[in-house]
Structure 1
Amino acid sequence: MNAGRKHDLRHVARARRREIAARMDAGARDAAARAVAEAVLRFVPDPGRVAVYESLPDEPPTGCLVAALLAAGHEVIVPVVLDDFSLEWRYAVPGAGADESTVRRPGRGGRTFRPDEREGWLGVDALAGCDLVVTPGLSVDAHGTRLGQGGGCYDRALRHREPGTPVVTLLHEGEQSTEDLPADPHDVPVDGYVTTTGRVVRLR
């Protein structure tokens, strides 16, 4: 039953996200990027390792966040989706966005990489050394239940983090859920979310 409800909720959430992104001009997107960066930086006052993701065009922008974290002395890692929906991790490159190697496509994994393409990557368990994990998501409810894209990549990856490491999801303002989202036993709740207005909501 949850699978069908999640499918319907994702359909609605993706349409809403497309509408929000379509209304944002370059100035609004730059303001959102700065607001997200300033808000997330408050979670990690001392230099450490932070896991982020390279945003797709309709997602809350993360390029400014990655640059700000690096400038503040943090080590930043970003995921690559493998064909089995596992997340490998590599060091962030300033200014990079998501491409065909990192994209999280609904219902599909990533691609298969040759061993030489994975040179210098950090493994699937790299979250174990993180001080903060920033995840994508379509919505989050008041209990920290996150509605992802459906591949389960992050629910599996988050099990590698150390207990107590905070996890926050980035949302456009208005994407947070006022109703409880369906949760399965394998779903990992998040500790809060940050919106594109810079609003920080701590849940757990």
Structure 2
Amino acid sequence: MSGPSKRDLRHAARARRARLAVELRGRDGGAGVAEAAEAIAETVLRFVPDGGRVAVYESLPDEPPTGRLVERLLESGHEVIVPVVLDDFSLEWRYAVRGTVGDQGTVTRRQGPPDASERSGWLGVDALAGCDLVVTPGLTVDRHGTRLGQGGGCYDRALAHRDPAAPVVTLLHEGEASELDLPLDEHDQPVDAYVTTTGRLVRLR
């Protein structure tokens, strides 16, 4: 007998995430998000090589916050790139600029690729090939490193361009890791670890 479908798992994971995000925002008189952002940044920074390039997504309101991570990486002299979702669900990459990414930032959605006047600071769809670490979003991750995303396939396609030596880390709310093995399709790209909003690092592969 087969297990639940990806669609069913996403539905349950999104409901769980909404609940956990509300709890985080309400924790400690509203300080929970800032504490989570700092915990994530502290943990991720421990395994970024000096002067490394890191790919980080700009978090949506219910996602583990990444704004502080981006700021800390830039303050430490690292190069940070962030994604823009194109209309075909490919990810284009651009440099993060200090002071412009907040913990409630969003990934910009475009219609078509940037034109010539916008190209400064844009790095192409294969920019992950030059990264030392890739930080991805995800709804859950299982013990084998199988990541369940939002269903668009953006990161699975983007991760095909990465340097195989560069670790891939997914950020999760504490309590979002899957105790069950997730469905794995041929195009799914595994991750090497996850970091939670408490700063906990779990290596998987």
Flag whether TM exceeds 0.5 (same fold).
yes
Structure 2 counterpart of 1:203: 204
CA contact (8 A) 2:37 2:66 kept: yes
2:118 equivalent to 1:117: yes
Counterpart Cα distance in 2 of 1:138 and 1:192: 14
Q: Once structures 1 and 2 are overlaid, which stretch shifts more, 39-48 or 189-198?
A: 39-48
Structure 2 counterpart of 1:157: 158
Superposition TM-score, scaled by structure 1 size: 0.91
2:86 equivalent to 1:79: no
Structure 1 counterpart of 2:70: 66
SS in 2 for 1:122: strand
CA contact (8 A) 1:133 1:166 kept: yes
Counterpart Cα distance in 2 of 1:47 and 1:100: 25
Report the CA distance between 1:9 and its aligned residue. Answer: 0.4
Task: Give runs of ≥4 in structure 1 deviating > 4 Å.
Answer: none
1:8-157 alignment runs, 5 A limit = 8-25=8-25, 26-94=30-98, 95-97=100-102, 98-99=105-106, 101-102=108-109, 110-115=110-115, 116-157=117-158
Superposition TM-score, scaled by structure 2 size: 0.91
Report the aligned-residue RMSD: 1.9
Counterpart Cα distance in 2 of 1:15 and 1:183: 22
* Structure 1 runs not aligned, ≥5 long: 103-109
* Structure 2 runs not aligned, ≥5 long: none
SS in 1 for 2:159: helix
Change beyond 3 A, Cα 1:70–1:100: closer
Report the CA distance between 1:47 and its aligned residue. Answer: 1.6
How many percent identity over aligned positions?
71
Report the CA distance between 1:119 and its aligned residue. Answer: 3.5
Counterpart Cα distance in 2 of 1:162 and 1:99: 26
SS in 2 for 1:34: helix
Counterpart Cα distance in 1 of 2:12 and 2:119: 36
